[in-house]
């Protein structure tokens, strides 16, 4: 028996002994699951139990070094871990921007003190992070940001506003871009800074979306004092860090919106879309009755699975140490547009059942699908618009002239 086969057998035994049975079949993705943090609530106590058991084994961040709270797994072992999660239909024990964005960035750019302070708390689910990049007037043109950080001794004093800060009202810390040199070129006067959301002067205002939810927020800084020791990399050199983190963010968005479906597969391996079509359109001899919808569902399923495999290969490469670069824009463009097409197909399958907003007469799943369809309209804007991503691909990947 090979070492990897032995690891798989031991890992499966650990799952069977430690994964709560109540979580089997529960949905999980990069944006759906247990976020952890100081404000976390656990409707099912087994979610916290699963988090604590996995964290104790280092399995919330399987490939991170053990000295920072990770599992120390090599890429092949980490792939086995992910495969077993899917095979046993278990949700990830922990999700969040700590794992997908700031954690990998700290591993690359953070000093030893910063790694030892922040990474173990991320792995244990003690701190939830949010991202402070976009500002009013500095969304697509991110380098035009104006949140100012003026140095006073061992601290920076921050003033400004961030916008579209996902889940800021639930977060404990924020990683943010701030302007520390207003006379330098746009990209050269920016610093990457870590900020405790409990610091006096930090306030958050949720933004109500067309879907009826408020995952986005405005984050305000008024004379906020932040230690200079919270600078990642170097003062005025934050743009380098920012670009590296964006590679992780784009891959995460592609996985969350594109590769992952809106619901877990139904019994018998049938996808949510196929089950929905069979229920709303009807089926004949086990096939979706309407040939047009049958073709559309089949084509979409093939495309979605092919994209999921591509994203998975990219994640496997990341575990092996490959840092995502400008090519990650391709995943962001394709994944978000794929998700929009998914929900367009869903509401067409729902027909009149997609017209509900609230109240009696509609199934809860149908109402949720309508709201998610509305929410999906923002996918090609958030995290950098598709137009910006295409410009990045044209310039930095294809080498086309400006």
DSSP assignment of 324-371, as one string? P-TTHHHHHHHHHHHHHHHHHHHHHHHGGGGG--SSTTS-HHHHHHHH
Nearest in space to 261 (alpha carbons), one of 350, 343, 382: 343
Nearest in space to 130 (alpha carbons), one of 158, 172, 159: 172
DSSP assignment of 129-163, as one string? EEEE--BTTBSSSGGG---EEEEETTEEEEEEEE-
Q: How many CB atoms lie within 10 A of CB 144?
A: 12
In which residue are the tokens 């008024």 written?
A: 222
Residue 319 CA to residue 314 CA, distance in Å, equals 9
Residue 249: active-site member: yes
Strand partners for 206: 217
Residue 236 CA to residue 188 CA, distance in Å, equals 6
Q: 30, 249, 296, 382: which one is catalytic?
A: 249
Q: How many CB atoms lie within 10 A of CB 252?
A: 26
What's the gap between Cα 24 and its chain centre? 22
Between the alpha carbon of residue 329 and those of residues 12, 248, 337, 371, the distances in Å are: 35, 10, 12, 26
Residues catalogued as catalytic: 249
């Amino acid at each position: 028996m090979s070492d990897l086969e032995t690891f798989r057998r031991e890992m499966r035994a650990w799952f069977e002994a430690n994964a709560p049975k109540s979580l089997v079949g529960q949905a999980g993705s990069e944006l759906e699951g247990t976020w952890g943090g100081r404000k976390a609530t656990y409707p099912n106590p087994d979610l916290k139990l699963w988090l604590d058991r996995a964290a104790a084994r280092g399995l919330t961040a399987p490939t991170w070094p053990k000295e920072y709270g990770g599992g120390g797994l090599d890429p092949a072992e980490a792939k086995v871990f992910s495969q077993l999660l899917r095979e046993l239909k278990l949700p990830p024990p922990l999700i969040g921007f700590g794992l997908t964005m700031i954690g990998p960035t700290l591993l690359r750019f953070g000093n030893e003190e910063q790694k030892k302070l922040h990474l173990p708390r991320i792995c244990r689910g003690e701190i939830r992070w949010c991202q402070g990049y976009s500002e009013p007037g500095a969304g697509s043109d991110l380098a035009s940001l104006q949140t100012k950080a003026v140095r006073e001794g061992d601290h920076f004093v921050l003033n400004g506003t961030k916008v579209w800060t996902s889940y800021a009202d639930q977060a404990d810390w924020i990683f943010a871009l701030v302007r520390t040199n207003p006379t330098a070129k746009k990209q050269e006067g920016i610093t990457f800074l870590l900020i405790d959301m409990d610091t006096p002067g930090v306030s958050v205002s949720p933004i109500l979306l067309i879907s009826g939810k408020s995952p986005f927020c405005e984050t305000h800084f008024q004379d906020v004092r932040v230690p200079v020791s919270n600078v990642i990399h170097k003062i005025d050199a934050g743009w380098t860090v920012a670009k590296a983190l964006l590679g992780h963010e784009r891959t995460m968005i592609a996985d969350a919106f594109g590769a992952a479906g809106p619901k877990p597969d139904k019994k018998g391996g049938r996808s949510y879309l196929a089950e929905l079509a069979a229920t709303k359109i009807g089926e004949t001899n086990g096939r979706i009755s309407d040939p047009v919808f049958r073709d559309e569902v089949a084509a979409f399923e093939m495309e979605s699975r092919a994209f999921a495999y591509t994203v998975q290969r990219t994640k496997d490469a990341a575990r092996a140490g490959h840092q995502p670069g400008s090519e990650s824009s391709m995943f962001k463009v394709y994944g978000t547009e794929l998700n929009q097409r998914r929900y367009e197909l869903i509401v067409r399958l729902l027909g009149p059942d997609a017209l509900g907003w609230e109240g009696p007469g509609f199934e809860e799943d149908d109402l949720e699908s309508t709201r998610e369809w509305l929410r999906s309209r923002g996918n090609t804007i958030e995290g950098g618009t598709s137009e910006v991503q295409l410009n990045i691909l044209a310039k930095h990947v294809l080498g086309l002239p400006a």
